[in-house]
Structure 1
Amino acid sequence: MSVRAAGPEDAGAIAEIWNPYIRETSVTFTTDEKTVAGLTVDIAARPGAFFVAEDDGAVLGFATAFPFRGGPGYRHTMEHTVQLAPDAAGRGLGRALMTRLEAALREGGAHVLVAGVSGENTVGIAFHHAIGFETVGRMPEVGRKFGRWMDLVLMQKIL
């Protein structure tokens, strides 16, 4: 297993991992599926902040970060997404991706990393706690998907 910077050639594999979560779960509140073209643009726009984990040449997960909010006062705060292929869970890939992402962000001047986790995603909340994130808030009923309102749990880690 290795973690490396994502390239445009990874966009298809990332879409294959991400889109089932969008279609079938409440892990993300979005309903807009990712496209290869859109992910290619995102990868290019986030040098040093988009990584993939692979094993035997197969992409099994990814982690990426992006600005938390606009404006110069937030320039040292980033938000992230981390996803694994379902059969890749429990192998340390999520932790490896986050370790690499956090190091790159720290090196780039980030001070805080934010996780916005669906209140229904108890696995995601537990994962973030296990890697040093603290819950700093819960926003009731700010997301809507599958005909129901969902809470957003805000977590953060000082880098």
Structure 2
Amino acid sequence: MVRPATAADASAIADIQNPIIRDTAITFNSRERSPAEVAEAILSQPCFLVAEEAGDVIGFAHYFQFRGGLGYARTMEHTIVLSPHARGLGVGRALMNGIETDARTSGVGSLWAGVSGENPDGVTFHKRVGFEEVGRLPKVGFKFGRWMDLILLRKWLQRDDETSRHG
């Protein structure tokens, strides 16, 4: 089940996210997040969802403005993170559907993903749900003593005749 995240989910979200930060190059971030920091993020993001199974949080997704400034106000970047046992079961797709629905309703023009070149499964997932690869930034992330590429993927969410409705 996918639902809006609450501050009460912060510890479970940190428990899912921190091993990925600590142990993988899926993210270039290297500083783990405290439950308090996660709770603050939940409250500050326009859309922050969790997926549950038997009452346990097994994944989360959220989106946030791609870059600062009014010109980017309807361009969002997103994050989807799943616990290891939730991968390949449709949980990521359910979370993506949730944030896409919210983004469309809110007048977001496009969702972006910045996927580590070390995460080919992330690139494949995004392409399967309709994202297109629009760029590759070579050697922009540094973690574990090596440089890594960032792959940019984008999905346009609005019909062209709707772009001026959400001013």
Q: Could you say whether these structures have the same fold, taking a TM-score greater than 0.5 normalized by the shorter chain as the test?
A: yes
- TM-score of the aligned structures, taking structure 1 as reference length: 0.97
Partner of 1:22: 21
Partner of 2:49: 51
- Which one-letter code corresponds to 2:45 in the other structure? R
Cα distance in 2 for partners of 1:120, 1:46 equals 27
Matches for 1:103-142 after TM superposition, within 5 Å: 103-142=101-140
Moved over 6 A (4+): none
Cα distance in 2 for partners of 1:62, 1:69 equals 22
Cα distance in 1 for partners of 2:21, 2:38 equals 14
**Percent sequence identity over aligned pairs:** 54
Deviation of 1:61 after TM superposition, in Å, equals 0.2
Cα distance in 1 for partners of 2:88, 2:150 equals 24
Deviation of 1:23 after TM superposition, in Å, equals 0.5
1:31 aligns with 2:33: no
Partner of 1:40: 39
Please, which of 89, 92, 95 is the counterpart of residue 94 of structure 1?
Answer: 92
- TM-score of the aligned structures, taking structure 2 as reference length: 0.93
Matches for 1:75-86 after TM superposition, within 5 Å: 75-86=73-84
Query: What per-residue deviation string (whole Å, max 9, x for no partner) do you get for residues 47-85 of structure 1?
Result: 4x1000001100000001010001111111000100100
- Which one-letter code corresponds to 2:102 in the other structure? A
Deviation of 1:9 after TM superposition, in Å, equals 0.4
Deviation of 1:109 after TM superposition, in Å, equals 1.2
SS, match of residue 120 in structure 1: coil
SS, match of residue 110 in structure 1: coil
Higher Cα radius of gyration: 2
Query: What per-residue deviation string (whole Å, max 9, x for no partner) do you get for residues 103-123 of structure 1?
Result: 001111101000000011000
- Structure 1: gaps (5+ residues): none
Partner of 1:145: 143
Cα distance in 1 for partners of 2:154, 2:64 equals 14
Partner of 2:59: 61
Cα distance in 1 for partners of 2:45, 2:149 equals 28
Superposed CA RMSD in Å reads 0.6
- Structure 2: gaps (5+ residues): 158-167
- Which one-letter code corresponds to 1:93 in the other structure? V
**How many residue pairs are counted as aligned between the two chains?**
157
SS, match of residue 89 in structure 2: coil
